[in-house]
Structure 1
Amino acid sequence: MLYQGVSLILAPLLVFQGLNVRRTTPRLPEPEGERVGQTGANPALSLLILGDSAAAGVGVAFQQHALLGQVIEQLSPQLEFSYGLFAKTGSTTSTTLQALQEQIDIAHPILGQTHFDVIVTSLGVNDITSSISCEKWLLQQKALFELITKRYTPKLILVTALPPLGLFPALPHPLRWSLGQRANQFNRQLQQLLIKLNQQVDQPTDFRLIKLPLENPQPDITMLEFMRQVMASDGFHPGAPIYSAWANLVVEQIVGGIKSAAIA
């Protein structure tokens, strides 16, 4: 790919910029709030959100405004459900897989459960900013999907695509361009992996890739400026508007995909 050759030429500059971003970008805390619970006395569906700082809600102060809280707000009027959030700042696909492969106490309020109807994953940003190859990352993603499918027998796994790093305000050019191209490559290969998984005859789980609909409604400003408005103050994590839009996608998939089957 052209971008790989250009990135190789620019490698010293990209490494310098990457180190500088890590040094200067503010480290935002994970939001306060409950990570496990249920919305009614008779949950008809169980949900697990699994992943990194974005899944954890970094960028807002309270879980109410993060992905989990927004899913609760948007889905609870339609359906009673139980939920769990297992996410941590800095998590990669590898570290998440390792955590799930370790001996899990059956008393763990989230991972100790035996079944989730829906699992939402958000992993890849911390992978893509490292030196991992797309091929190795895909193998890790596949191993993660196989593990959570076997352990929790979900009906639906919603895989969150890598965000558009090419539009992250915290990243300087050309690092922003390089990571944006890398994210596009990872997303294309991830989509192909999910297609193959869905084609397996004995596969009871439906895999779907969800991409945030980040469209600039203000033609008088640039897309980069729009992203500054909807992202967190660090220019790297989602802000409340993005979490709301992300949750809307999750709820749409749940309601359209398995709500009727879960209630039946």
Structure 2
Amino acid sequence: MFANGMRKRLSLLPEAAGDGTGTTEGKEPALRLAVLGDSVAAGVGAAHHGEAMAGHLALALSQLTGRAVDWRVTAKAGATLATARRSLPSGLTDPMTRWRPDLVLIVAGTNDALRLRRPRAVRRDAEALVRDIRLRLGEDVPVVFAGLPNLTALRSLPRHTRLPLALYVHVLDHQLKTAATRGAAVFHLPSGAPPACPGPWFAPDRFHPSPDGYRAWARILASRLATLTETVVPSPG
């Protein structure tokens, strides 16, 4: 009952508009970043991808590293790790332009929590998703799980629902961490919580980020991703 009600309420906002690609200014060659996942990766709560997760993340990463970032989104609102595996990896490459990512960021797992999927099943799905990405891209492309957000500050849910869900999301996030330890060049980056200071951090559904919320979240991920890229995706030259 809870999961069905949540999914119905969260399906009211559309995904971000646009083709889900872009490039920031910076030193060449550009870092090619693919963002794969659920409604957060798809930019629900933002008008277009430039003000959603991928656009803000690319801009913040470019500012921190000095490199141009050529980004691409392959995402679907409502996707679980399992459905992402079945339908999204094909969008990681572009056969027409021979575009291939240097780095893949996976933003998924919250819908698994809303569906109350078992932790071990979530870990297996995460590991299988990494394997499918490897089959398409090869073993040399780093894969990064964005840690699931801390939901304790999500006031849109009743307290009796919010706290148990936040604990369950934490349990599933631990499964993503475990999945990351079981593969070469697979990583997990904590996402943190929404900013504690007052601000328009949430979209009208009071669940997905607003453009300001995406910017704040992207900056947290970019600060950690920038350090990681220096090691696993060194700039040529």
- Is TM-score (shorter-chain normalized) higher than 0.5? yes
Give the corresponding residue for 1:223: none
SS at the partner of 1:74? helix
1:214 aligns with 2:194: yes
CA distance in 1 between counterparts of 2:214 and 2:89 reads 29
1:152 aligns with 2:141: no
Give the corresponding residue for 1:255: 226
SS at the partner of 1:162? coil
Normalising by structure 2, what TM-score? 0.82
Change (3 A) 1:93 1:24: closer
CA distance in 2 between counterparts of 1:103 and 1:161 reads 22
CA distance in 2 between counterparts of 1:42 and 1:193 reads 33
1:185-244 deviations in Å (ceiling 9; x for gaps): 1112322332333xxxxx2x2413232353413xxxxxxxx5x84111111101223211
% identity of equivalent residues:
26
The answer to whether the 8 Å contact 2:45/2:209 transfers is yes
**Once the 2 structures are TM-superposed, how far is the Cα of residue 151 of structure 1 from its aligned partner?**
2.2
The CA RMSD measured in Å over matched residues stands at 2.9
Give the corresponding residue for 1:52: 38
SS at the partner of 1:211? coil
CA distance in 1 between counterparts of 2:190 and 2:149 reads 10
Higher mean alpha-carbon deviation, 118-127 vs 164-173, is at 164-173
Higher mean alpha-carbon deviation, 254-263 vs 124-133, is at 254-263
The answer to whether the 8 Å contact 2:81/2:112 transfers is yes
Corresponding pairs, count: 231
The answer to whether the 8 Å contact 1:65/1:240 transfers is yes
Normalising by structure 1, what TM-score? 0.75
CA distance in 1 between counterparts of 2:61 and 2:182 reads 30
1:69 aligned residue (27, 31, 55): 55
Unaligned runs of 5+ in 1: 1-14, 198-202, 218-225
Larger radius of gyration: 1
1:108-139 deviations in Å (ceiling 9; x for gaps): 77xx74x3211111111111111421111110
CA distance in 2 between counterparts of 1:23 and 1:142 reads 28
**Once the 2 structures are TM-superposed, how far is the Cα of residue 50 of structure 1 from its aligned partner?**
0.2
1 or 2, which has the higher helix percentage? 1
CA distance in 1 between counterparts of 2:108 and 2:33 reads 17
Code of the residue aligned with 1:189 in structure 2: it is: Q
Unaligned runs of 5+ in 2: none
CA distance in 2 between counterparts of 1:98 and 1:156 reads 20
SS at the partner of 1:49? strand
CA distance in 1 between counterparts of 2:90 and 2:133 reads 13
CA distance in 2 between counterparts of 1:214 and 1:25 reads 18
The answer to whether the 8 Å contact 1:71/1:247 transfers is yes
Higher mean alpha-carbon deviation, 63-72 vs 246-255, is at 246-255
Give the corresponding residue for 2:181: 195
